[in-house]
Amino acid sequence: MSDTAFHEMADGRRIAFRLFRGTSPALVFLPGYMSDMAGSKAGALLEWARGAGRACVLLDYSGCGESAGQGTGGDFADGTLTRWREEVLELIDAQVRGPVVLVGSSMGGWLMLLVGEALGERLAGMIGVAAAPDFSDWGFDEAQKAELRAGHTVLEDNPYGPEPTPTHAKFWQDAETLRLLERPIAIDCPVRLLHGQADADVPWEVSLRTAAALRSADVQVVLVKDGDHRLSRAQDIALLLHAVDTLPT
């Protein structure tokens, strides 16, 4: 794993990242909600990039992983899709030359689409792993949405750790303004969407809806019948790396 460096934003936020300098297009991995660049998919992507000589960037959003507590705005409760999109775009501008392939996991798949639209012609391709656009809508019941509208934090059982998963009102209210699936998504590059049909967190049908909304004609959805939300088994990682290796750019 490359050494961690920090990119400082104008307001003092320090965004942790790891970079391998190689050939274009550069791979940029966007982790999921409350996740970070220490995960198995991010690590496997960086190691593959090193072997292939491809440029690769991993990062932790403000309030997450190694970015948490760095400078101002290091609290996870301050995080929003708008804020994290700003961080990703600024880091790409500062560290990457030329075209970019975005790889987004879960919430990172939603952020991937938002960043992709902003990148315009620099976007060479996208790969989603259990991408979760619009989960502020389909991921909460009406009682939870009422709590979030009222400014309260919603806590849910966390299958991946002992502490409950919080959704802060600030994050949810911002996310509701950035929903994508009810309009054409103005992205024309090749896109691959990988999704487990045993995913208990993000229905696999969301990837089909995403494929339908994308303007690109080169979109493929790969369903893994026994795959869970993380898609982090050895065969799942191999599937991801195959998608990266064979993506036309």
The residue ranges of every structural domain in the chain are: 5-135+186-246
Tell me if residue 199 is catalytic.
yes
- Tell whether omega for the bond before 133 is within 30 degrees of 0, i.e. cis: no
From the list 7, 207, 229, 236, the catalytic residue is 229
Other CB atoms within 10 A of residue 14 CB? 18
| 230-249 pLDDT per residue, tens | 999 999 999 999 999 999 98
Q: Which of 60, 199, 207, 236 is catalytic?
A: 199
Q: Is 35 marked active-site? A: no
**Closest to 30 measured CA to CA, from 133, 136, 120:** 133
Known catalytic residue at 67:
no
Active-site position among 106, 134, 136, 207: 106
pLDDT at 142 over 50: yes
Per-residue pLDDT tens digits for 201-224 = 999 999 999 999 999 999 999 999
Residue 165's nearest CA partner among 229, 69, 220 is: 229
**Long-range contacts, stretch 84-89, CB < 8 angstroms, 24+ apart:** 84/111, 85/111, 85/114, 85/115, 85/118, 86/9, 87/9, 87/13, 87/15, 87/59, 87/61, 87/62, 88/28, 88/30, 88/59, 88/61, 88/115, 89/115, 89/118, 89/119
Q: What is the pLDDT of residue 161?
A: 81
Q: What is the pLDDT of residues 42-92, one digit of tens each?
A: 999 999 999 999 999 999 999 999 999 776 657 899 999 999 999 999 999
How far is 193 from 180, CA to CA, in rounded Å? 16
pLDDT at position 199 is 98
Instruction: Please state, rounded to an integer, the average pLDDT across all residues of the chain.
Output: 96
CATH of domain 5-135+186-246: 3.40.50.1820
Q: State pTM to two decimals.
A: 0.97
pLDDT of residue 117 exceeding 60: yes
Quick: pLDDT tens for 153-202.
999 998 888 889 999 999 999 999 999 999 999 999 999 999 999 999 99
Give how far Cα 41 sits from Cα of 14, 115, 118, 185, Å: 23, 20, 24, 26
What is the per-residue pLDDT for 1? 47
